[in-house]
Structure 1
Amino acid sequence: MWRRILNPVVVGTVRLTWRSLYTMQLKTKEFQSLFSDGLNGIAEIFEKHQFELRIAGGAVRDLLSGKRPEDVDFATTATPAQMKAIFQKAGIRMINNKGEKHGTITARIHNENFEVTTLRVDVHTDGRHAEVEFTTDWQKDAERRDLTINSMFLGLDGTLYDFFQGYEDLKERKVRFVGSPEQRIQEDYLRILRYFRFYGRVSVNAGEHDPTTLTAIKENARGLTAISGERIWVELKKMVVGNHAAHLIEVMYDLGLPQYIGLPVEGDVEKMNLVWQNVKEHSPRPMTVLSALFCNSDDVEKMDLRLKVSKEEKNLGLFLVKHRHDLHKSPDDPDTLKPYTDFIIDSREADAQSKVCELLKYQGEDKLLAEMSRWSIPRFPVSGHDLRKMGITSGKEIGTILQNLRDVWKKRRYQMDKDELLGNINRS
């Protein structure tokens, strides 16, 4: 049953209209499945010392969507010092306490880690980081969060605490900032990309953005220049493989974001739309989608310079840009993988097959992709040792013969065994 409590809400210096605190009781199997010896133990400790403990943020959103969250974060009225004291008294080990200055303590009990963060309020923000003070006011902590669907708390008795109609937005599949979009963005400009990522995750239909939100994003896009490439890449690579990815990238171009996040200003958005249709059902890697925007390898290098992607991701981008046109199915035999398998056989790269799979996704070759996924790289059966046993000792001659035999083997679709190949030496 819903319970509504009217509260005036002030977010920063902006006083909002009257909001309602909604509460309800959640009793789903996903929620009940969270309770383990570890969670029960942590809950007992906080209850014993009269501190409130609730599930916070994304885990609440997932539970309300009928999903069991992979990660569960907790919020509490206890300060970090108080948490350390009660954990030490209970003999509970604390680990990875680098987040203590931000209010987070990680406790380990019954072989489980529990990350618990003190309720906070921002006292100063610079668009990247926030200076915080601890509070015992759940509403004030909710006010500092980015989106309404991420601002809810769930008590361990199943009570939902929702100050900004987050559950209503979740049911209606809406993505809204808490309070003023402009103010939330200016507190942390990365929230621009978080908006797009969660839009792809939550919204059913593309193109149902609130115009005020898009205006705030456009007017504050330059703030992304101050955000580290690593943080941008974390959000971007999740967004481009989610729902509505092509639409969202197009909107980002319309709003002028690419120049601030490492994407080419003149990116080929039309091509990206076509590639997205090819790849969206095949679990593409982020770089496979983004490569459609790149005109040449320089665009990949510039992106890497800004976002500091992994070597593997960068190499995939360079591979796709280089081979998306010159490596393709044979017009004489379009139903075979031969051009692709020959490339893999000749390649010295250990991940050549996985790169070719991404290329096939990019090209929309669904049938060949299915075959490639089942194909195992055959082993070339002849070695230099075999030739030396035949009395061929010149290194140069051995190299030439091996290459000739490899060409014969490829033409026969890798079906010849060692004896058959060695029988071709005199004819090579």
Structure 2
Amino acid sequence: MWSRILGGPVIRAASCWRSLYTMQLKSSQFQSLFTDGLNGLVELFGKHNYELRIAGGAVRDLLSGKRPEDVDFATTATPEEMKRMFQAAGIRMINNKGEKHGTITARIHNENFEVTTLRVDVQTDGRHAEVEFTTDWLKDAERRDLTINSMFLGLDGTLYDYFNGYEDLQNREVQFVGSAEQRIQEDYLRILRYFRFYGRVALEPKCHEPQTLTAIRENGHGLAQISGERIWVELKKIVVGNHAAHLLELMYQLGLAQYIGLPLDGNVEEMKQVWQRAKDHSPKPMTTLAALFNYLQDVEKMDLRLKVSKEEKNLVAFLIKYRRELCKDKDKPDSLKPFTDFIIDNRELDTQSKVCELLKYQGEKKLLEELCRWTVPRFPVSGHDLRKLGVTSGKDIGATLQNLRDIWKKSHYQLDKDELLSYVKL
């Protein structure tokens, strides 16, 4: 797959040593990217003598043997130069909101290609950066967060790696580019990005560099100025990734909980047990996080900070409310029955989904499998059926329907309409 073609000179800059290494990628995943659209993009940039390379996460995925879902490109062309080039070629441009950040999106052969001019940070405030455009690939690489995200891949398959990102990826290590403290202070959200990529890349849960954890601990307060929406995007990816329980516990140990919407007295031990029970069943982020919450009012505080969706908020509240009560009869021989009865009685569309998450929370693999195969039966009697029998009072209709529903549940939902109506006493 690989052949080493160049070990470049060592470059000294900003108090850290960098070596430019290039390697040749010839994988099938890389070759599969070359659609008519991408070939047209490459040809156009080459015709105008602008460099074009794949950047960021797509490079990391390709080096890991994966075909990336999204591919971002970097170029030496400025946004104005790209616009003139695309316009001259009759290529439509869309999503112009990214232009102020140097990004132009071109549509070629019904494919969108997002291309960003190389940038260098002029000023940062922990949330945003003022940038200037550059043609220096090294300067763009050194403004990125992690070494594994700082590589570029030429469209001829040549890897450009300035900060040992390929070596770190091979060793399953997550390192900041240069100084961890400096990278974090440029954008405090990088603390959570570090944890997210650690869960994605690292094989073992406790292989952090001590100086990295020190930098996180000393700068964690900066997360207070990051919007809840941005924090939640990262946090929920951490919670469904590898080593989630370890990483959440580590966030508590480093004093981050107070800045990211988690309860200060979170039940970390319960969370670790829930994660261990649920991790093989694709739990939703809130299923694991719910274990941290001791009180429903903590959910309101979390929502104020993170602005979670209504569905997510309802799920965590549901799990807190029913994680003990609804599971108290689970050891009975017919232990799925309390759950199916609950679903029948609570006829909201997502009740079955919530109960499935509750079973993941409790580690009830067998019951979860049964419930996933179970189809909610339709109660066969309606108020109209009772009116035809002569029950006219709304109050009587409601009481009778509830009584028939209870009889139906006791029959394991087997009695049909005529059998149930035989129980009606006029």
TM-score range, shorter chain: over 0.9
Counterpart in 1 of 2:108? 109
Query: Which residue does 2:361 correspond to in 1?
Result: 362
Map residues 306-345 of structure 1 onto 2, 5 A cutoff: 306-328=305-327, 330=329, 333-345=332-344
Instruction: Please give the alpha-carbon distance, in whole angstroms, between the structure 2 residues aligned to 1:331 and 1:240.
Output: 27
The CA distance in 2 between the partners of 1:367 and 1:131, in whole Å, is 54
Change (3 A) 1:9 1:58: farther
Does the alignment pair 1:16 with 2:16? yes
* TM-superposed deviation, 1:141: 0.3
Unmatched 5+ residue regions in structure 1? none
Cα deviation 1:125-153 (Å, max 9, x = unaligned):
00000000000000000000000000000
In structure 1, C-alpha distance between the alignment counterparts of 2:136 and 2:374, rounded to whole Å: 59
One-letter amino acid of the counterpart of residue 89, structure 2:
A
Q: How many residues align?
A: 423
1:304 equivalent in alignment to 2:303: yes
Q: Distance in 2 between matches of 1:204 and 1:395?
A: 63
Within 2, Cα distance between the matches of 1:405 and 1:113? 58
Counterpart pick for 1:5 among 4, 8, 16: 8
Does 1:100 find its partner at 2:96? no
Deviation at 1:332, TM superposition (A): 6.6
Counterpart amino acid of 1:288?
A: T
- Checking the alignment, whether the CA contact within 8 Å between 2:330 and 2:336 is kept in structure 1 is no
2: distance between equivalents of 1:174 and 1:167? 10
* Residues 331/48 of structure 1: CA separation in 2 closer, same or farther (3 Å cut): closer
Q: Conserved in 2, the CA contact under 8 Å of 1:193 and 1:235?
A: yes
Aligned to 2:346: 347
SS at match of 1:281: helix
- Percent identical pairs in the alignment equals 75
Give 1:160's aligned residue.
159
Post-superposition offset of 1:335: 4.4
- Deviation of 1:72 after TM superposition, in Å, equals 0.3
Distance 2:330 2:267 in 1: 27
User: Is 1:141 matched up with 2:140?
Assistant: yes
Q: How far apart are the structure 2 equivalents of 1:291 and 1:9? A: 48
Q: 1:220 to 1:334 in 2, by over 3 A?
A: farther
Deviations 1:106-164 (A, max 9, x none): 00111100000000000000000000000000000000000000000000000000000
Q: Structure 2: 5+ residue runs without aligned partners?
A: none
CA distance in 2, matches of 1:254, 1:335: 42
Give the corresponding residue for 1:245.
Answer: 244
Give SS of 1:280's match. Answer: helix
Deviation for aligned residue 1:397: 1.1
d(CA) in 2 for partners of 1:352, 1:156: 49
Q: Equivalents in 1 of 2:163, 2:130: separation in Å?
A: 23
Give runs of aligned pairs for residues 21-420 of structure 1, distance below 5 A. Answer: 21-328=20-327, 330=329, 333-420=332-419
Matches of 1:335 and 1:410, distance apart in 2: 13
Q: Give the aligned CA root-mean-square deviation in angstroms.
A: 1.0
- Structure 1, residues 45-101: CA drift from partner, whole Å, max 9, x if none? 100000000000000000000000000000000000000000000000000010101
Structure 1 residue 425: Cα displacement: 1.1
CA distance in 2: counterparts of 1:332 and 1:284, whole angstroms: 22
Instruction: Give the Cα separation in 2 of the matches to 1:173 and 1:252.
Output: 21
Query: What is the CA-CA distance between 1:20 and the residue it aligns to?
Result: 1.1
Q: Deviations over 1:219-256 (max 9, x none)?
A: 00000000000000000000001000000011111100
SS in 2 for 1:339: helix
Q: 8 Å contact 1:182–1:217 — kept in the other structure?
A: yes
CA distance in structure 1 between the aligned counterparts of 2:323 and 2:291, rounded to whole angstroms: 10
Q: Matches of 2:138 and 2:236 in 1, distance apart?
A: 32
CA–CA distance in structure 2, aligned partners of residues 16 and 56 of structure 1: 22
Shift of 1:334: 4.0
SS at match of 1:106: strand
| Structure 1 counterpart SS, 2:425 | helix
Deviations 1:267-316 (A, max 9, x none): 11000000001110000100001000000111111111000000100000
- 8 Å CA contact 2:54, 2:155 repeated in 1: yes
CA distance in 1, matches of 2:424, 2:334: 31
Amino acid at match of 2:118: L
State the one-letter code of the partner of 2:156. Answer: D
Q: Which moved more, 1:404-413 or 1:392-401?
A: 392-401
TM-score (norm 2): 0.98
The answer as to whether partners of 1:329 and 1:337 remain within 8 angstroms in 2 is no
User: Are the structure 2 counterparts of residues 113 and 324 from structure 1 closer, same or farther at C-alpha, using a change threshold of 3 Å?
Assistant: same
What secondary structure sits across from 2:241 in the alignment?
A: coil
Secondary structure class of the residue paired with 2:380: coil
- Check whether the contact 1:62–1:68 (CA below 8 A) recurs between aligned residues: yes
